[in-house]
Amino acid sequence: AQSVSQHNHHVILSEAASLELGCNYSYGGTVNLFWYVQYPGQHLQLLLKYFSGDPLVKGIKGFEAEFIKSKFSFNLRKPSVQWSDTAEYFCAVNPSGGSYIPTFGRGTSLIVHP
Amino acid sequence: DVKVTQSSRYLVKRTGEKVFLECVQDMDHENMFWYRQDPGLGLRLIYFSYDVKMKEKGDIPEGYSVSREKKERFSLILESASTNQTSMYLCASSSDRTGAATEQYFGPGTRLTVT
């Protein structure tokens, strides 16, 4: 069974700082990868996803993620965070062609100070 | 725009009560899911359904059951609520049974407190 690790459980940044949230998965085959975000008081929503092609994926609100197959990683990045990026971020993985049920990481809580 | 709605945002129940959590999606999705979300534990899958009247256990099904009588509706039932079931419950749906690339759409969640 696959697993997903998010190494940063809590991240605190000041506005304009750069962000990188780590996500590693364990699965030997081809995967589909997702980042979801949950803003305070709101529902979980898709930030971006990778399923094939360019390993650098761009999502909403200036976020991007890079799939590095050799490192089994799908790290989320943003060059300059805003106070409104304060949220919980979840990485998820699905083996391609297999189950449609993703495995989620435990989440990273990001607080951005104005 | 996909919409997943849940019957209650907040619910307070007593130990031993039977609890029903309802979820409805309006995009004709085949797949529906129930998760619980706890701090530091992320999302844990309770049950899922890939078709009407079909259900499969997730990672933590104990103490829960589900019902899917109509495609758009997926209910989570706590047969006898206990304090360790105090949590945030999230419903989700997705459109393609075999397409692992498809994303999930989540409801706003129900925060259940069992006293």
Distance from A31 to chain B by nearest Cα, in Å?
8
> Do B25 and B32 touch, CB atoms closer than 8 A?
yes
Q: Which amino acid is at B62?
A: E
- Considering only residues B41 and B74, tell me which one the structure prediction assigns the higher pLDDT: B74
Sheet holding B4-6, edge to edge: B4-6, B19-25, B73-78, B64-70
- What's the pLDDT at A7? 87
Taking the alpha carbons at both ends of chain B, their separation in whole angstroms is 37
Residues B89-115 have pLDDT tens digits of 999 999 875 565 688 999 999 999 999
Residue A57 in this model has a pLDDT that exceeds 80: yes
B108, closest residue in chain A (CA to CA) = A43
Residue A95 in this model has a pLDDT that exceeds 60: yes
- Considering only residues A100 and A69, tell me which one the structure prediction assigns the higher pLDDT: A69
Q: Which amino acid is at A12?
A: I
Query: CB-based contact (8 Å) between B1 and chain A?
Result: no
Reading the block at residue A3, the tokens are 């697993």
Asked if B97 and A97 come within 8 Å (Cβ–Cβ), the reply is: no
Reading the block at residue A102, the tokens are 């993703």
Residues B1-13 have pLDDT tens digits of 669 999 999 999 9
> Do A82 and A58 touch, CB atoms closer than 8 A?
no
Which phi and psi (to 5°) does residue A84 adopt?
Answer: -70, -5
Distance from A97 to chain B by nearest Cα, in Å?
6
- Of A59-68, A92-101, B22-31, the range with the lowest mean pLDDT is A92-101
Q: What's the rounded mean pLDDT across residues B56-77?
A: 96
Instruction: Please provide the size of chain A in residues.
Output: 114
Reading the block at residue B70, the tokens are 């109509």
User: How many other C-beta atoms are found inside a 10 Å radius of the C-beta of residue A59?
Assistant: 18
Residues A6-25 have pLDDT tens digits of 988 999 999 999 999 999 99
What is the Cα gyration radius of chain A?
A: 14
Distance from B45 to chain A by nearest Cα, in Å?
9
Q: Given 3-state DSSP classes, what are the helix, strand and coil percentages for chain A, each rounded to the nearest 5?
A: 10, 50, 40
User: How many other C-beta atoms are found inside a 10 Å radius of the C-beta of residue B111?
Assistant: 15
Helix (H) or strand (E) holding B23: strand B19-25
By Cβ distance, the residue of A45, A97, A101 closest to B45 is A101
Which chain A residues have a beta carbon less than 8 Å from that of B104?
A: 36, 44, 46, 102
Residues A71-86 have pLDDT tens digits of 999 999 999 999 999 9
On average, the pLDDT of chain A sits at: 92
> Do B40 and B106 touch, CB atoms closer than 8 A?
no
